[in-house]
């Protein structure tokens, strides 16, 4: 080991530093500047709607059953054609996710038979107390495209009889 | 013992009684053959073909009739095709193969076929999670279907069969379990199949729809989500529910139940009872539960529940501490000395009643049972022997039902008595009017109201009926309160006890007397020494009264008046009632679902119930409140542990000797096998893990001479001209405080009615459906006229607990 | 009331069965009830249920199961074309479609004049002579085998004359 060796190492190290001085910076000026998320990013949940504005969620509670952190609470009620939330007989009258408990694993997405719950790209979750970490259905639901599509709404009798959407023959 | 047969299932040798079906034999051997239409309680039909297995029988030589041997073993000849395990009874030497490729293929094909038109809407189906079709598809299904998905047949999805049961025609797999249950077990064929083939669907044309008090049971045994209850519709998913063992409080049968609970946002975040399910006890309710037991539980979650102790201050009830409330009550009770009266009801648990009785004894007061039915001393004396099981009665046995409409008063007894009659027991129904049980009776005896005792005493004379009863191997007598008051029922009970004694039907299992009480624990109240009082108004007037679990003010204007003149009134109840309004002190008690305790059923079976939901507000169990009052009166009563109260009770009351909570919680294996893992087999009934209860030994079974006290029956009331003899009858769905909070039953409860003979109606100039005013003894009420031509012209039937205070036969004016 | 309308017939039918098995009389009684209007109405079902001590649902269930009982009003004659597999192989489906097109009705519908209702039914046990149908009308049940649309139209014309 020569005496020069530490000097070489020092120069090499400083060289690295020097090189980064001219590199493009990777730092984002969050929150002014936000980073694009990946397509399969799992962020805050969104409850989706059909194109006609009806809620996709049918209150089946399978997401709650699949949830390893027990973060989801669902309570169902019955739809009527006078006051319809979702197609079919059943809708979620209460839907809550405790964001402090959620581990963003996406099992709820997998369990959902109507593709109603989707993990979105919002990761900006902060709360000042535990209670506000519980997101009720109103916060989770996707906004309606137009005002006349809000739920609950009155619909023609006998049109939305089935909960689980008509799907293609799975063998096709 | 019947002949035993040995057979081999999947290489496992098993010996079962001759006549057992292969599917049941396999279940006994611990081998699961998948079934849908087969139910161990129902006759086999072989409709669904799910249980296809290979069955082989020993080959016989046609010439010699000898079994053909091969390598020292009988040669087994298999049938060329698969056979249904649910319709084939076992035979000696039979070989059954359930796991072969051929059998598996058959089962796979059946599942595939059953799913052709099944909508697969499991996510919203109330059965999802405890569904036999779901489970068996996972286990035996092919995974893929060769049928074209778009060709599924779509039928109506939301069909209310009545206001209690909903039908989803798409989900139905046409197993006919529900139809067969109604036909074979309930004896009310109000369900049927319409059309045929793929279009087969369940219909009910009765009025009101699905007119049966057993309708809820069809949802338990339905192997799919086709039948669901209106009460639980979309209420919760089965896996989210907690289950706690309980006992039904609606009638003296003491059905074992399971309370399914869940925390609910709709209920403001409270833990509430979501549904009441039967819990198997083959000696009490088997796996069934009547609709009252299933749907009338809402009172425990009623908004009228009392949550805090209250004391009357300046004519108004004001909130008070437990200490102040119990102290005030204790002071008044102590001061009144001999004028201290406790009025308790049979809605309370054994421990509560025991503490109340002890308090009365120590304080020198009196404890009265709030009931207009007597004879409990006799059921303790010559009641049914320990080991009685109505489900074992059959050929050669006799059942006598006197002055009771079991269908309305104790539906599960009706069901079990009816089935005993089906098995060959001689059923004798003695009632002044036709009841539903008459259809299954070998003999029906009609007497006029007032002649009950005579009708029973006539068994002493020689006749075909009395011979049959006297010669029966076992005989049970049910006595009720149809058309009778306290004195009348006491007299009938005494006559029945005499009859049983004369014919030697006492002191043995499956023999003796059963009282069809109006409340769940009336028998328990008699056991701990509480008795009803003939002139209750007199007994309450001017006294310091401690009313527990009853509403005398709401029930009877005469008692209301008597209580106005009472020195002091303390009311301990779970709900706000007319009586709590006049009370000086109100003490909130816990409902049966919030605490532990025991009830004694009409068959004298002591059974435990457990706490399922947290208590309402500051309420406390009845026995605790009583001990708190006692403490303030310097009387020491156990007031912390309910099991200790029971131990003290067991030590001081002879019939309860040797009983303990541990003993009451013992279970034995039961047949059929039901429960969570076996929902496909026995239904969604819960298996019993919390105790089958213990039947008390009646004095007659202990030994010694039995002396039956004589009861002098008051002369039969003869109404004057222009008056009718109004008699009380019992109605299942009444306006009692434990029923009316269940809104679902409103329609079945209906309005107060008065049944008249067509002649009487004509004489009064009223028609069916007309509103009339009925008045007697300073009591009056409105009722809707019903015409009944099976009653006599001089009587008017008035149901109890429907707003008209009738306790015993009275002369009444109907306008 | 069935009993009031046909006292003699009802009594005669009931006399054929032992009293403890009187429910067996349900089929002949249903025929009796159907005779006049071509279908069994609800009141008649109630009557029969009462007569035989069974529930109305049980009676309705029998009406629903057998294709020869009807619970809805239809034309004077019901033309019931068998479309089960063997018949279909011999062109029953095509026959039915053409017949319907010719009459301007759909399966299950009645012609405008209220004369015939076309129905498609399960096996009538005449597979070898398909296409075939049976007519059910005031003159009872008749089989018509090896049929063509032309021959059927002729038959309908003949039936019209009977009406006149």
pLDDT tens digits, C111-124: 988 899 999 988 89
User: Residues 6 or more apart from B353 whose CB is under 8 A from it?
Assistant: B344, B521, B524, B525, B528, B530
**Nearest residue on chain A to B235, alpha-carbon basis:** A76
Query: pLDDT: is A122 or A164 the higher one?
Result: A122
Cβ of B233 within 8 Å of Cβ of A78? The answer is: yes
Within 8 A of A60 by CB-CB distance, chain B residues are 123-124, 128, 237
Task: Go through B743-775 and write b for each residue having 16 or more CB atoms within 10 A of its CB, e for each that does not.
Answer: eebeebbbebbbbbbeebbeebebeeeeebebb
Phi, psi of B316 (to 5 degrees): -125, 150
For residue C73, count other CB atoms closer than 10 A to its CB.
12
Residue of B nearest to A113 (CA): B123
Q: Looking at the DSSP assignment, which residues form a beta bridge with residue B192?
A: B203
- Tokens 């309305």 correspond to B408
* Separation of alpha carbons B450 and B435, rounded Å: 18
Per the CB < 8 A criterion, the answer to whether B99 and B10 are in contact is yes
d(C-alpha B793, C-alpha B783), whole Å:
18
* Chain B residues lying within 8 Å of C54, measured CB to CB: 189
Q: Give the pLDDT confidence of B192-243 residue by residue, as tens digits.
A: 999 888 889 999 999 889 999 999 999 999 999 999 999 999 999 999 999 9
For the cut 80, the answer to whether the pLDDT of residue B333 exceeds it is: yes
3-state secondary structure chain A: CCCCHHHHHHHHHHHHHHHHHHCCCCCCCCCCCCCCCCCCCCCCEEECECCCCCECCCCCCHHHHHCCCCCEEEEEEECCCCCECCCCCEEEEEEEEECCCCCCCCHHHHHCCCCCEEECCCCCCCCCCCHHHEECHHHHECCCCCHHHCCCECCCCCCCCCCCCCCCCCCC
Under an 8 A CB cutoff, do B194 and C54 touch?
A: no
Q: Across the A/B interface, how many CB contacts are shorter than 8 Å?
A: 64
> Which residue on chain C is closest to B197 by alpha carbon?
C65
Q: How many Å lie between the alpha carbon of B180 and the closest alpha carbon of chain A?
A: 29
What CA dihedral angle connects B280, B285, B288 and B291, to 10 degrees?
A: -130
All partners of chain B with 3 or more CB pairs under 8 angstroms: A, C
Q: Is B519 in a helix, a strand, or coil?
A: coil
Candidates B686, B608, B679; CA nearest to B277 is B686
Inter-helix orientation angle C26-37/C7-15, to 10°: 160
pLDDT at B777: 83
Q: Which CATH architecture has domain C2-65?
A: Orthogonal Bundle (1.10)
Q: The tokens of B718 are what?
A: 């003869």
Q: Identify which of C77, C124, C123, C119 has the alpha carbon closest to the alpha carbon of residue C99.
A: C119
Distance CA B78, CA B86 (A): 17
Q: Reduced to 3 states, what is the DSSP secondary structure of residue B52?
A: strand
3-state secondary structure of B653: coil
* Cβ within 8 Å, pair A163-B234: no
**Predicted pLDDT of residue A172:** 42
**How close is the nearest chain B Cα to the Cα of C46, in Å?**
10
Report the predicted TM-score, pTM, of the whole model to 2 decimal places. Answer: 0.93
Q: Looking at beta carbons, which residues of chain C come within 8 Å of B194? A: 60-61, 64-65
Residues of B in contact with A66 (CB under 8 A): none
- Residues from chain C contacting residue B204 (CB–CB below 8 Å): 57
- For residue B691 the two structure tokens come to 């105790």
Residue extents of the structural domains in chain A: 45-149
Listed residue (B512, B500, B616, B753) closest to B268, CA to CA:
B616
Residues of B in contact with C60 (CB under 8 A): 192, 194, 203, 205
State whether B203 and C64 contact (CB < 8 Å): yes
Q: What is the DSSP letter of B697?
A: P
Question: Which uninterrupted H or E stretch holds B4?
Answer: strand B4-9
Q: Does pLDDT of B166 surpass 80? A: yes
Beta bridge partners of B783: B772
Give the right CATH number for C77-163 from 3.40.50.20, 3.30.300.30, 3.20.20.140, 3.40.30.10. Answer: 3.40.30.10
> What domains can you pick out in chain B, each with its CATH number?
4-114 (3.10.20.740), 151-299 (3.30.70.20), 310-371+525-657 (3.40.50.740), 380-514 (3.40.228.10), 724-814 (2.40.40.20)
**Average pLDDT over all residues of chain C:** 91
Edge-to-edge strands, sheet with B310-313: B316-319, B310-313, B585-588, B568-573, B544-548, B340-344, B366-369
Q: What is the pLDDT of residues B768-809, one digit of tens each?
A: 999 999 988 888 889 999 998 888 888 999 999 888 888 888
B192: its two tokens? 């049927």
The pLDDT value recorded for residue A166 is: 67
Give the minimum alpha-carbon distance from B144 to chain A in angstroms, rounded to a whole number. 8
A4-A6-A12 Cα angle (round to 5): 105
pLDDT tens digits, A45-64: 999 999 999 999 999 999 99
B334-347 confidence digits (pLDDT tens): 999 899 999 999 99
Residues B801 and B250: beta-carbon distance below 8 Å: no
B803 or A118: which carries more pLDDT confidence?
A118
| Alpha carbon distance B499, B680 (integer Å) | 46
Would you call B240 and A64 a contact, using CB atoms and an 8 Å cutoff?
yes
Read off the pLDDT of each residue in C34-58 and give the average, rounded to a whole number.
91
CA B311, distance to chain mean position in Å, is: 37
Residues A135-161, mean pLDDT to the nearest whole number: 90
B480-526 per-position pLDDT tens digit: 999 999 999 999 999 999 999 999 999 999 999 999 999 999 999 99
Distance CA B681, CA B27 (A): 9
Residues of C in contact with B789 (CB under 8 A): none
Q: Does B203 touch chain C (CB under 8 A)?
A: yes
Domain boundaries, chain C: 2-65, 77-163
Are B203 and C122 a contacting pair at CB < 8 A? Answer: no
Q: Which residues of B784-802 are buried (b: 16+ CB within 10 A; e: fewer)?
A: ebebbeebeeebbbbbbbb
- Interhelix angle B622-632/B322-336, rounded to 10 degrees, is 60
Cβ contact C64–B197 (<8 Å) = no
Cα nearest neighbour of A76 on chain B: B234
Tell me the DSSP string of B392-420: G--TT-EEEEES--HHHH-HHHHHHHHHH
- Mean pLDDT, range B728-749, rounded to an integer: 90
List, as ranges, residues 21-80 from A with C-beta within 8 Å of B: 58-62, 64-65, 73, 75-78
Pairwise CA distance, residues B417 & B427, whole Å: 8
Touching pair B, A by Cβ (3+ pairs < 8 Å): yes
pLDDT, average across residues B659-685: 92
Round the average pLDDT of chain B to a whole number and report it.
93
- CATH architecture, domain A45-149: 2-Layer Sandwich (3.30)
C-alpha closest to that of A56 among A163, A172, A170: A163
By the 8 A CB rule, do B379 and B514 touch?
yes
What is the DSSP code (8-state) at residue B99? S
Tokens representing residue C38 in the block: 């071509």
DSSP state of B770: -
Q: Chain B residues with CB inside 8 Å of A113's CB? A: 123
Minimal Cβ distance to A171: which of B144, B233, B235 = B144
**Mean pLDDT within C28-39:** 89
Are B196 and C64 in contact (CB < 8 Å)? yes
Classify residue B589 by its DSSP letter: B
CA dist C141 → B337, B510, C65, C77, C80 (Å): 90, 59, 18, 10, 10
Inter-chain touch A163–B124, beta carbons under 8 Å: yes
Output the six-digit token pair for C56: 């109305």
């Amino acid at each position: 080991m020569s005496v020069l060796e530490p000097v070489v190492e020092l120069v090499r190290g400083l060289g690295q530093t020097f090189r980064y001085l001219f590199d493009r910076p990777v730092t984002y000026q969050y929150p002014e500047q936000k980073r694009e998320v990946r397509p399969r990013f799992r962020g805050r949940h969104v409850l989706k709607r059909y194109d006609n504005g009806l809620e996709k969620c049918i209150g089946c509670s399978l997401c709650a059953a699949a949830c390893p952190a027990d973060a989801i609470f669902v309570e169902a009620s019955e739809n009527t054609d006078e006051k319809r939330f979702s197609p079919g007989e059943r809708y979620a009258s209460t839907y809550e996710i405790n964001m402090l408990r959620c581990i963003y694993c996406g099992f709820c997405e997998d369990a959902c038979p109507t593709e109603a719950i989707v993990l979105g790209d919002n990761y900006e979750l902060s709360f000042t107390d535990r209670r506000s970490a519980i997101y009720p259905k109103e916060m989770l639901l996707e906004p309606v495209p137009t005002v006349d599509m809000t739920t609950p709404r009155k619909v023609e009798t006998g049109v939305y009889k089935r909960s689980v959407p008509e799907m293609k023959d799975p063998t096709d | 013992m019947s002949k035993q047969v040995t057979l081999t299932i999947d290489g496992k040798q098993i010996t079962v009684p001759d006549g057992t079906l292969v599917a049941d034999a396999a279940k006994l051997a611990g081998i699961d053959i998948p079934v849908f239409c087969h139910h161990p309680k129902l006759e086999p039909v072989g409709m669904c073909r799910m249980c296809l297995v290979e069955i082989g029988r020993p080959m016989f030589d046609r010439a010699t009739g000898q079994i053909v041997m091969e390598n020292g073993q009988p040669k087994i000849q298999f049938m060329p095709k698969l056979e249904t395990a649910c319709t084939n009874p076992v035979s000696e030497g039979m070989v059954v193969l359930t796991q072969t490729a051929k059998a598996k293929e058959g089962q796979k094909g059946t599942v595939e076929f059953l799913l052709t038109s099944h909508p697969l809407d499991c996510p919203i189906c109330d059965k999802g999670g405890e569904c036999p079709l779901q489970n068996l598809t996972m286990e035996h299904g092919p995974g893929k279907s060769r049928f074209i998905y778009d060709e599924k047949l779509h039928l109506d999805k939301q069909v209310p069969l009545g206001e209690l049961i909903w039908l989803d025609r798409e989900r139905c797999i046409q197993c006919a379990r529900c139809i067969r249950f109604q036909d074979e077990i309930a004896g009310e064929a109000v369900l049927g199949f319409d059309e045929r083939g793929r279009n087969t669907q369940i219909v009910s044309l009765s009025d009101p729809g699905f007119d049966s008090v057993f309708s809820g049971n069809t949802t338990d045994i339905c192997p799919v989500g086709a039948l669901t209850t209106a009460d639980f519709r979309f209420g919760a998913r089965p896996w989210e529910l907690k289950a706690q063992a309980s006992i039904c409080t609606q009638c003296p049968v003491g059905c074992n139940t399971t309370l399914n609970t869940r925390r609910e946002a709709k209920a403001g975040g409270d833990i509430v009872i979501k549904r009441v399910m039967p819990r198997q006890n083959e000696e009490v309710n088997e796996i069934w539960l009547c609709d009252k037991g299933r749907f009338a539980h809402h009172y425990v979650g009623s908004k009228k529940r009392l949550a805090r102790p209250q004391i009357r201050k300046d004519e108004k009830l004001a909130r008070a501490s437990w200490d102040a409330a119990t102290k005030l009550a204790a002071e008044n009770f102590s001061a009144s000395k001999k004028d201290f009266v406790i009025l308790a009801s049979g809605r309370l648990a054994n421990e509560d009643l025991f503490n109340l009785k002890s308090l009365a004894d120590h304080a020198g007061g009196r404890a009265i049972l709030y009931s207009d039915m007597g004879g409990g001393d006799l059921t303790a004396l010559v009641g049914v022997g320990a080991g009685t099981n109505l489900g074992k009665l059959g050929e050669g046995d006799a059942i006598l039902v006197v002055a009771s409409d079991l269908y309305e008063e104790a539906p599960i007894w009706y069901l079990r008595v009816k089935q005993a009659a089906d098995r060959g027991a001689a059923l004798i129904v003695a009632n002044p009017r036709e009841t539903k049980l008459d259809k299954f009776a070998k003999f029906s005896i009609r007497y006029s109201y007032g002649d009950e005792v005579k009708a029973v005493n006539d068994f002493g004379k020689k006749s075909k009926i009395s011979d049959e009863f006297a010669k029966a191997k076992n005989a049970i007598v049910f006595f009720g309160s149809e058309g009778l008051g306290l004195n009348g029922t006491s007299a009938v009970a005494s006559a029945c006890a005499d009859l049983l004694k004369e014919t030697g039907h006492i002191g043995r299992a499956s023999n003796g007397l059963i009282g069809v009480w109006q409340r769940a624990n009336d028998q328990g109240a008699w056991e701990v020494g509480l008795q009803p009082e003939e002139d209750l108004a007199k007994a309450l007037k001017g006294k310091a009264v401690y009313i527990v679990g009853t509403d005398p003010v709401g029930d009877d204007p005469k008692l209301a008046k008597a209580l106005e003149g009472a020195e002091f009134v303390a009311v301990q109840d779970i709900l706000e009632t007319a009586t709590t309004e006049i009370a000086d002190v109100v003490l909130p008690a816990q409902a049966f679902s919030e605490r532990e305790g025991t009830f004694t059923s009409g068959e004298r079976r002591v059974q435990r119930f457990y706490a399922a939901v947290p208590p309402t507000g500051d309420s406390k169990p009845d026995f605790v409140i009583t001990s708190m009052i006692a403490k303030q009166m310097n009387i020491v009563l156990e007031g912390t542990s309910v099991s200790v109260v029971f131990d003290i009770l067991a030590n001081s009351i002879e019939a309860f000797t040797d009983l303990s909570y541990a003993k009451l919680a013992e279970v034995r294996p039961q047949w059929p096998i039901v429960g969570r893992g076996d929902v496909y087999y026995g239904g969604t009934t819960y298996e019993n893990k919390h105790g089958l209860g213990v039947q008390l030994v009646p004095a007659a079974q202990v030994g010694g001479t039995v002396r039956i006290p004589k009861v002098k029956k008051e002369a039969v009331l003869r109404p004057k001209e222009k008056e009718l003899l109004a008699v009380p009858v019992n109605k299942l769905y009444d306006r009692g405080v434990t029923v009316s909070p269940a809104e679902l039953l409103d329609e079945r409860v209906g309005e107060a009615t008065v049944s008249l003979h067509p002649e009487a109606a004509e004489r009064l100039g009223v028609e069916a459906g007309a509103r009339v005013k009925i008045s007697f003894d300073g009591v009056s009420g409105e009722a809707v006229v019903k015409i009944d031509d099976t009653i006599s012209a001089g009587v008017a039937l008035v149901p109890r607990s429907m707003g008209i205070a009738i306790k015993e036969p009275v002369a009444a004016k109907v306008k | 009331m069935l009993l009031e309308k046909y006292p003699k017939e009802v009594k005669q039918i009931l006399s054929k069965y032992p009293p403890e098995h009187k429910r067996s009389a349900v089929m002949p009684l249903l025929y009796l009830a159907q005779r006049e209007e071509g279908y069994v109405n609800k009141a008649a079902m109630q009557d029969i249920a009462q007569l035989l001590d069974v529930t109305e649902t049980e009676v309705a269930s029998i009406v629903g199961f057998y294709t020869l009982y009807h619970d809805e009003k239809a034309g004077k004659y019901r033309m019931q074309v068998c479309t089960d597999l063997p018949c279909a192989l011999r062109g029953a489906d095509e026959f039915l479609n053409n017949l319907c097109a010719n009459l301007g009705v759909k399966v299950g519908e009645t012609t405008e004049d209220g004369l015939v209702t076309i129905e498609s039914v399960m096996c009538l046990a005449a597979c070898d002579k398909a296409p075939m149908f049976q007519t059910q009308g005031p003159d009872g049940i008749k089989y018509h085998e090896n049929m063509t649309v032309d021959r059927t139209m002729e038959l309908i014309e003949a039936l019209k004359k009977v009406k006149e």
